[in-house]
Structure 1
Amino acid sequence: MKLYIAQMKILPGNVQANMQTMKSALDRARAADADCIVFPRYALTGPTNRALPVDWAEIRKYAGTMPFFLSGDALDDSPLHGIAHVTHGRDFYTVGRREEENREFSHLAKDSAMPIVCVNGVGTDNTGKNIYALAGGSRVFDCDGKIVFEMPLFSEADAVVEFNDGQVQADVESAKPYPSEIAEIHDALVFMIRENLKMFHISRMVIGASGGIDSAVSAALYAEAIGPENVYLVNMPTRFNSDTTKNAARDLAENLGTPYMVAPISDIIESVCHTLERCSFVRNDTVMKVAGINHENLQARTRSASILSTVASVVGAGVTCNGNKSEAMVGYCTLYGDTCGVMCALGDLWKTQVYALARYINRDKEIIPTASIDIPASAELSEAMNVDEGKGDPILYPYHDKLFAMWVEKGVSLEFTEKLAMEGMICESLGVDAAYFKAHLPTVEAVIEDMRLWYRRFKGLALAKRIQFPPILSVSGHAFGGEYRESQVSA
């Protein structure tokens, strides 16, 4: 018996377009003289719109005598019964879980003494708050639980598989495995950016290029997804920005071949400050002097809400949020400032993953400037953030990323991590370099105080900021607003 596997692109909620894709696949299956065809689950609606009403009469009529499956659900009597078990992978793609899923299907094939056909769709879907990849990677397991062949991730594909007396034969070359998890993350992000901007009818993007690592990695991803000519980089310096980062932003644009502009914002900042200093409230004596954290936030809001949004309007583009998961976790970002954007490409990546992604992007040649990787991560909003003096963010990323991940991804409590610290087990438990850790947090008291500070932020104002983040490209299975549905629970 010959089975036709259709790893098709699914457009969320677009029943008619998906119907046409299924019809085209049926035509190819007939041409291949297949006995039946299998589609991904929710092929007509997409996973998040599966409650949409669907009239199956049209596709049944078009299929005629060709039996078909929707990855596990036969809509007609199928000759596959007793020959192979048809199933599907997870609805949404999650980096690092594929091997676990393969083990599950392998055991199922051996236990049932029956081949397993796992069929997945390709495309993206979203909940409004999170964007997910439908990654493809359909595969077939023989009765011994071995993978006969595997389709590529992030692209449409078809295959004909023949079953004879429990033997499985596929006349197709198996896709090559990814060399690393970060390589897979890279392709997933580029794929989701491309597909979603296409769905949003956005062909150009404006990115604030600070010279730092986050904006550099975002720019590289967008340039690969939609072409460098469609990515507009804007550097917006003040007196706090070093020549090091300004030059890095310029070099990034040259390496990518993107349009680039320098738009100083000091005059705008000072104008707002001077205007407010001349103003006062009625029935309140607060002096409107903009200084300290308020001055820092004004810079961030001016860059995004004023400059980048206006540039995007002029060139007919969208604006991206460059924030990462570490910053979102503790609210190290400015509402209506660097949290602005139509989507957040790095929002499900810890800062240390962003650095790993930069190194992967530079695997063949320098795209991300070395300076962006080597300098301390810094917002450069005050003298206290001078990168040339080694000053940067208050987050100790090699340590805090692992601590934050323990709280979010493993559901560990603050009390538990405090206990680890008091027992002298925190470095061993997290896999953190002890010398680095001691250099920054030399006493148990300092460690406990630091933990409580960040946990309060995590459960406090940072929550309000995360709820207002733009849609996050999700890859981890623990994305804020997605699987981690914190906006619906009390701290």
Structure 2
Amino acid sequence: MKVAIAQSNPTIGDINGNIDKMIGMIDKSRAAGAELVVFPEMATIGYPPKDLLLNSDFIEALNDLTERLLLPVSHDIGILFGTVTYDNISGMLCNSALLAYNGDIISRQDKSLLPTYDVFDEARYFIPADTRQCMQFGDLKLGVSICEDIWNDKDFWDRPRYPLDVIAELALQQPDMFINISASPYHYGKFALRSDMIKNIAKKYHTPIIYANQVGANDELIFDGGSFCIDALGNRALQAKVFDEDIITIDSQKLMQGTYSSYDPNEDIAWMHDALVLGIRDYFHKTGCKKTVVALSGGIDSAVVCALAVDALGKRNVLGLSMPSRYSSTGSRDDAYVLAKNLDIEFRTYPIEDVFEACLRTFNGDSPPKGDLAEENIQARIRGNFIMFIANRENRMALTTGNKSELAVGYCTLYGDMCGALAPISDVPKTMVYELARYINREYEIIPESTIAKAPSAELRPDQKDEDSLPPYSVLDPILHAYIEENKSFAQIVAMGYEPDLVKDIIHKVDRAEFKRRQAAPGLKVTTKAFGIGRRMPIAQRWTGSII
């Protein structure tokens, strides 16, 4: 039997559009000779739909459109797809995999393991499956599971999250192959982890696995796609594109016999770049906006964000703004101009000196400027007003340019450089920003080498450098990784070889900056723990842990 994996990019809530896309992919799969086409988790509505699921009209429309539009195209081909259904007994919602054929639903399997960690909150909406049964389609017995159901192999993980091993239970029924339909969000390194885990399961049960993953970005989450097949020996047989829609067709007999050649892709910084480009592109496309504006300081963060925006939206849709003050160096002004010229984007300069001087007179009266934090921040806030004015007037969405390292320790200004609709690199540590810059310059110089080489500075006071307030990023980033992503304690981080006073200062900075992050633009998640929906810390709290 020929089986197609239709790796789709749904828009949350666009039921008509998603089903139309599915129908188009079904037609292509049918033309390629497929007898069964497999779609990702919640292909009909997009993942995660969040509180749209609490709207009864939404669920009724989903059921109606699925029955009227999708089921009729299954007259000569099986369609296995993810959607949302009602439980027949309780009337509660289920995250379901449905198998349609000849206009009817011939089999159904609900999701058993409902994640509630990190960015997931499925127990808020769904009830878990109480039974797990293989699906029969033609001559094939299929062990179908949904995303998290495959992430609990006790032989792979040191500490499984759930007492139930869904795949082990399905394996007892001796399926010809496993199929897992997923909406598995991406983070750097996730592909290799996912691949190793699924290879381990295939080898353990001597059963091939088809893995169908969602692609695209929805708000903060990026889905890499990369759907693949693993044969019974644990070899990767075929793989779909990463960060793009795709259809791949496999011969189930060849997959079970293990006669496909093995293929293992290498995940590198290019994946991070492509993930961020997809995140920006889909955020704009799915919200209906085409154009952006980026504040160009001449620094590496704004340069990387602007280059990503051009790759995502096209150069004609990107506007770069230079807003120099008395503290802006000639080198930074020149770097901003050269970057815009290299990217061939529209570039404008709006000096903020007159407005800044007026603010100093207003706030200080006849007294001389104090040169304090308030005066530093007013420059950032003037720039925020400028960029938001342009965004409003010209129907653009502003991109903020702060990185994860800055956002973590509060080295950013509310209502200033934090103004914008999306924060593309807010989950990218500063050290990785440099890696991205070098990748962007891999063929020829786009970001000026002087931008990459110079010491980072906010340029809000004379001769200011980031390291006046922070340790070197090569020191700061590993501490932040340990504290934020690995949840290490003060004592554990000190045991890694860092000075206690330094660790204490960084932890205090992270904790005190929570109020800023709560008001920040949504950011694209590309690490194991991003600020946003996956990290829910209180603002008004006094826990200091083991710090004395």
Q: TM above 0.5, one fold?
A: yes
Aligned to 1:295: 375
Distance 1:426 1:395 in 2: 15
Contact 2:236 2:262 in 1 (8 A): no
1:92 positional shift: 1.0
Aligned to 1:282: none
1:201 positional shift: 1.8
Aligned to 2:273: 186
Return the letter of the residue paired with 1:470.
A
Contact 1:162 1:169 in 2 (8 A): no
Aligned to 2:242: 153
Distance 1:35 1:325 in 2: 46
Aligned to 1:440: none
Distance 1:479 1:93 in 2: 12
Return the letter of the residue paired with 1:426.
G
- Give the gaps of 5 or more residues in structure 2: 83-95, 100-105, 108-136, 142-174, 544-548
Distance 1:84 1:140 in 2: 10
Return the letter of the residue paired with 1:119.
A
Contact 2:318 2:345 in 1 (8 A): yes
Q: Is 1:70 matched with 2:71? A: no
Aligned to 1:114: 207
Contact 1:123 1:195 in 2 (8 A): yes
Residue from 317, 321, 345 that aligns with 1:234? 321
Q: How does 1:226-305 map to 2 (within 5 A)?
A: 226-278=313-365, 291-304=371-384
Residue from 528, 535, 538 that aligns with 1:477? 528
Aligned to 2:180: 87
Distance 1:239 1:38 in 2: 59
Distance 1:124 1:37 in 2: 23
Q: Is 1:177 matched with 2:253? A: no
Contact 2:239 2:248 in 1 (8 A): no
Return the letter of the residue paired with 2:424.
A
1:247 positional shift: 1.0
Higher relative contact order (CA 8 A, sep 6+): 1
Instruction: Note the alpha carbon deviations across 1:325-358, whole angstroms, 9 max, x for none.
Output: 0011110000000111110011000000001110
Q: Indicate the larger mover: 192-201 or 392-401.
A: 392-401
Residue from 448, 459, 462 that aligns with 1:383? 462
Aligned to 1:458: 510
Aligned to 1:307: 386
Q: Indicate the larger mover: 312-321 or 362-371.
A: 312-321
Contact 2:294 2:321 in 1 (8 A): yes
Q: Indicate the larger mover: 141-150 or 78-87.
A: 78-87
Instruction: Note the alpha carbon deviations across 1:269-314, whole angstroms, 9 max, x for none.
Output: 11122123459xxxxxxx997641010000000011x211122233
Residue from 153, 157, 164 that aligns with 2:253? 164
- Give the gaps of 5 or more residues in structure 1: 280-286, 428-446
Aligned to 1:404: 480
Return the letter of the residue paired with 2:298.
G
Distance 1:43 1:407 in 2: 36
Aligned to 1:434: none
Q: Is 1:15 matched with 2:15? A: yes
Q: Secondary structure at the match of 1:233?
A: strand
Contact 1:161 1:169 in 2 (8 A): no
Aligned to 2:67: 57
Contact 1:205 1:232 in 2 (8 A): yes
Distance 1:37 1:69 in 2: 6
Contact 1:150 1:174 in 2 (8 A): no
Number of matched residues? Answer: 448
Q: Secondary structure at the match of 1:149?
A: strand
Residue from 211, 223, 232 that aligns with 1:143? 232
Q: Secondary structure at the match of 2:335?
A: helix
Return the letter of the residue paired with 1:159.
I
Return the letter of the residue paired with 2:208.
P
RMSD of the TM alignment (CA)?
2.4
| Identity level (%) | 31
Contact 1:222 1:231 in 2 (8 A): yes
Contact 1:6 1:38 in 2 (8 A): yes
Aligned to 1:356: 435
Q: Secondary structure at the match of 1:472?
A: coil
Contact 1:8 1:122 in 2 (8 A): yes
